[in-house]
A and B are shown apart, each in its own frame.
Chain A
């Protein structure tokens, strides 16, 4: 049987991406730090996705509560609602929704931006004016994504829980204070730490894939669209894989 071409391409791509990530780690901690560009990118990445992340988190909070509540009522477990929503929001839905939205929004825009910079020789122009474009463009964007994803996840969690509270208070008679008390008393470190740690990895995956696709995109404007598109697809796939690994690892360490 012949080795399928698409599978071959797949492994080649994985290899190239790993090499690109390796290149990132080689220079990620060394001087000079392009701190101005880093701050600008943090602002862009955080600000661009904030609204979308908040709205999606809010709706997920509403929907999740509406969907789960009837079953909980049936089992007479409605008192566990805040706990149940709190855990699923913080552990899984918040991080994942945020990461997927960012993959679509940030991943594609980084892919398109670097792709068009590559095609129009802006990256070459940076190189000849005494700048390491890999550090200036890639390292800053990846760091910005790593730093911003946890913050955005925090927003999604908070807004999602607020959405859930709105439903709970309209159906039952729980006060805002009571509700949050329930939620936080049920959350333990084993919920919060792994969930936060994995958002750093999500940020890294989104940043590195977007940069890789853009930075290595082919000549021509068609290459730019392709870079943006495949950045989203690859990043999303990678997010699920990372999520799976993170949950397994957390399971070992925290014995949930």
Chain B
């Protein structure tokens, strides 16, 4: 497997650092002191039950959710303290793959890819925008969809277009919110392969939310189990698969009906 753990990681500066993060919605306490460090070249998988606050967590990382308490730092900068202009600069370094792809329904594939590019003209570095769009589409194998509308695409194609849209700014950190959910095993595999090739090409660090244990097994350098609003358990896939804790075991065991 192409696992990319970095033996020197303790000496590196973390790209993402979360300390004692707390977040509630009304009386619903979702995160109750979560901690995380993401180092260069790492792939950290976050496991957690539905509704455990995984999406909320990564939205805090790009300022889509305010936080109640704690520290959230991306590339050394504190996210909650930033003004919009500064935040936009950090955000351009962070790719976000949304749970439902979140392609703009009213725009063609081409316009979808151009959208982030036009907002960050400094990233074009004199290159032609159509060239950049095409090369991003080529990297996910969907050049022929250039003029299609999102409604004309299948779920797997949408996911790949969303990947291309995220890649076009060449981010340093990628946040994947359930990249393989709702896809058949074959398409899931294609997405996972794409995630690998992206990492190789751009040298990214990623935070991956998934329920897909196959995906977690092949891609993770480290797994964090998010349960009851905290890091319930942490370790490599092999560590956690041998765990005796029932809440951790629940993610690894085969489905038992009876």
Contact = CB atoms under 8 A, between A and B. Distances in A.
B59 A124 contact: yes
Nearest to B91: A128
Contacts of A132: 84
Given A129-B115, A132-B84, A122 B105 contact: yes
A40 to B, nearest CB: 9
A18 interface: no
A131 B119 contact: yes
Interface residues of B, number: 22
A116 interface: yes
Given A116-B105, A122-B104, A125-B102, A130 B96 contact: no
B102 A122 contact: yes
A125 B98 contact: yes
Given A129-B119, A130-B116, A130-B119, A121 B91 contact: no
Contacts of A116: 105
A181 interface: no
Contacts of A131: 115, 119
Interface in B91-115: 91-92, 94, 96, 98-100, 102-106, 115
Given A116-B105, A130-B91, A124 B64 contact: yes
Interface in A164-222: none
Interface of A: 113, 116-117, 120-122, 124-132
Contact of B98 (A113, A121, A130): A121
Contact of B99 (A117, A121, A122, A129): A121
B212 interface: no
A122 B165 CA distance: 13
The 3 closest A-B pairs by CB, nearest first: A129-B116, A130-B119, A125-B102
B167 to A, nearest CB: 12
A39 to B, nearest CB: 14
B64 A127 contact: yes
Most buried by A among B62, B88, B99: B88
